[in-house]
Amino acid sequence: MKMKAAKILLLLVCLKAFCYAAQASKSSDSDEWEGEFFTEIPKIKYEGRSSKNPLAFKWYNAEEEVLGKKMKDWFRFSVAFWHTFRGTGGDPFGAPTKHWPWEDGTNSLKMAKRRMRANFEFIDKLGVDFWCFHDRDIAPDGLTLEEANQNLDEAVALAQELQTKNKKKVLWGTAQLFMHSRYMHGGATSSELEVYAYAAAQVKKAMEVTHYLGGENYVFWGGREGYQSLLNTDMERELNHLATFLQAAVRHKKKIGFNGTLLIEPKPQEPTKHQYDWDAATTANFLRKYGLTEEFKLNIECNHATLSGHSCHHELETARINGMLGNIDANTGDPQVGWDTDQFLIDIPEATMIMLTVIKNGGIAPGGFNFDAKLRRESTDVEDLFIAHIVGMDTMARGLKNAAKLIEDGSLAELVRKRYQSFDTKLGAQIENGEADFELLEKKVKEMDEPYVASAKQELAELIFQSAL
């Protein structure tokens, strides 16, 4: 009897040990992960504005038509891999606060694959069609470029498999040319030739994997492309190098048959004191000078707009009227904080102004709205990842419906038309067509009375705008 009991006890111990081993295997190898990452989260559905469910859309109804186009097609929402799956909550003053259950504390290739699986489950449950990535966020760096490329190839192979299975797409990819110490002086604008060459090789590979994954755009963000002091900087040479780098990127794009749009993302500073792509106007001027306007459009990030002293609406309109509006990074900053906080955009008036420009532009496809936004440091529950995106998507949906209301009402457009109606005359047409020289205008002034200057009716414009919110 004692022998039998001992055997049973030994069997139980072995069974328990086997279970621990199985769990350890599951947590250490992403290819062995089974089941769901977000077990408590259902697929997010539209329940309407009366819903009290935090895990449901109140305004974003993907299939609802607004101005002849489905909501999902106006937005083409995308999840940013780096903030959603690599964001830790750490800051210069504190350690990471987010410890997701699938993380094992490493940056191994196995861990990268597990994050990739979590990413596709997330975007599938959220109900968006696109995702964005940096090369070094989806796969670990290597001791050599060859090792880094091999790691990236493995991660991308899994991403392609999961994309096909889940019917998802890459909105855009990019190379991370700002984290590694080799890029402390920049990549394309580095004073070191070897760094310039390494950056080119990294971008070459990132463009190729973006193309392989069917990416619809490729982004250049020059976080280190700029200067700290002009005393030790040859700005003209650096700008020439940057242009040469982008021209080479265009050639490689054509060589590999990549039909996606090349995008530049303006930002004034941070991490570099002065970045060369300061704002939309500066970037547009740079592209014109170097003959790149036919090859590039702009990826406007709202938080970057405010850092440069503009509104997001201003930057979007600047890009639009220059024919360069390509994509929007939907986020915002905190007016009390002077840095790039990458918060989810929840301001309905701002969302409405953004959508007024997008509608004027006829949409932004093949671009979209990428949530380049992160949870607050203090938000540490898995469900917070979903809630943040839900609120962001609902906010943009409200902005779209408000903008459509303003356009269909027509009062705001009529106010603007009336303000410039003095140019809807024969002389106005001559001026706008470049046919009125100073002599003609001087002659006309002598025939006129003192000019009448009408009210701008700003308060009325604001009243009309507010009535749609």
By annotation, the residues acting in catalysis are 134
**β partners of residue 371:** 79
Q: By three-state DSSP, how is residue 66 classified? A: strand
What lies within 8 Å, CB to CB, of 433 at 6+ separation is none
**Nearest-angstrom CA–CA distance, 377 and 91:** 8
Nearest C-alpha neighbor of 72 from the set 82, 84, 80, 60: 60
Structure tokens at 371: 């949530």
- Reply yes or no: is the peptide bond before residue 271 cis, omega within 30 of 0: yes
**Nearest-angstrom CA–CA distance, 236 and 293:** 20
User: CA separation (Å) from 450 to 369, 437, 447, 456?
Assistant: 49, 20, 10, 18
Q: By three-state DSSP, how is residue 263 classified? A: strand
Give 240-246 contacts, CB < 8 A, sequence gap 24+: 241/188, 241/189, 241/196, 242/188, 242/189, 242/276, 242/286, 243/286, 243/289, 243/290, 243/292, 245/187, 245/188, 245/196, 245/199, 245/200, 245/203, 246/188, 246/220, 246/290, 246/292, 246/295, 246/296
Rounded to the nearest 10°, the torsion over CA 13, 15, 21, 22 is: -160
Q: What is the largest CA-CA distance in the chain?
A: 122
Structure tokens at 58: 């109140």
Range list of H helices, 106-234: 109-126, 135-138, 145-166, 193-212
